[in-house]
Amino acid sequence: MPAWIHSDPNADDGHWRGHADDARPRPRWAPVNLDTLCAGSCMNSYRRKVRSYEHATTTYQTDYATWQADTAAWHAPLAWPAEPEQPEQPRLPYPILGDPVYCSDCVYAYKSKLSKLDGAACVYLRDADGFRGQSDQAKVSGKGNEPASLSPTIDDLDELDGWLRDWKASYLGAETMARQGSLADSITLGTSWLVARVERILAHADMAQAFGDEVNRWYGRLVRYDPSDITVERLKGARCPECKGLTLERKTGDDKVTCGRRTCERVLKWSEYQELAEEVLKARKAS
């Protein structure tokens, strides 16, 4: 690390500052090797600030050397060269170290996302419209002589299943095994198997970061189908045309409205509900 990075509380150079809300002195610039930080998103801001400051310092040193040369060669009536401004050292949060790669909070977050892939995949398969949802069977990954699936949904889930089986094989140091059972069953088995071993994978220096990044990528692709992340909105603009109750509800982003009363469960298109709500509003204004 550069010599100017230190955390000496007795140094009278502005590198150490305390906070009014913290009885302990707190370093403004901490001598932490970035490679020892948690590799998760919790330390992204820390890494970004350090790298940005180091880049700004390098630029400043170059500009300062140029300024010194310009002042040495200065002569009237030229304007005196403007001295470059030294970058201000950033205020860094307390560093969170990897244990050994990720901190415990990030390990929990990855485990949570991984465990939700199975449920999200099931919702994705269920909500596939038209011919995309007719079957959960697809070509087996790795057999290039088989025709491609006509279902984008099945192709996506086939890719997920292959990813799960590939990581199981990487962990075991073996060849990727063939799918067992249907696509949905294979995803459930693969997800459960990896969830049970996720702490060990995320502690493995050669696997941890690639695995964590790929879990994030898959969860980002399927998060819209995560059943634990779906918000249900109770609709008060119109009554159910079947049971006449104020029991209509809609999942965020869904194109259908359902009656929440178990003895009714009437289903409407979102456009049909909007027409009903508009009629109610007109009737209220007329009265």
The domain locations on the chain are 1-97, 104-228, 231-286
**Cα–Cα nearest to 237, from 228, 250, 227:** 250
Could you tell me how many helices (H) and strands (E) the chain has, helices first?
A: 7, 6
* Phi, psi (degrees; rounded to nearest 5) at 21: -95, 15
Helical axes 152-172 vs 104-127, angle rounded to 10°: 150
* pLDDT for position 157: 93
Q: Which residues of 158-196 are buried (b: 16+ CB within 10 A; e: fewer)?
A: bebbbbbbbbbebbeeeebeebeeebbebbbbbbeebbe
Low-confidence ranges of the chain (pLDDT < 50): 1-27, 129-147
Q: According to the model, what pLDDT value does residue 230 have?
A: 63
Q: Helices in the chain by DSSP H: which ranges?
A: 44-72, 104-127, 152-172, 183-195, 198-201, 208-222, 270-286
DSSP, collapsed to helix, strand or coil, labels residue 259 as: strand
What pLDDT is attached to residue 61? 93
Q: How far is CA 138 from CA 127, 178, 204, in A?
A: 17, 13, 33
pLDDT for res 135: 46
**Rounded CA gap, 49 and 205, in Å?**
25
9-34, pLDDT tens digit by residue?
333 333 333 333 333 344 455 558 88
Residue 284: the pLDDT is 86
Q: 30 in helix, strand or coil?
A: coil
Predicted TM-score of the model (pTM) = 0.62
Position 33 scores a pLDDT of 87
Distance CA(101)–CA(192), nearest Å, equals 22
Angle at 206 between CA 200 and CA 210, to 5 degrees: 85
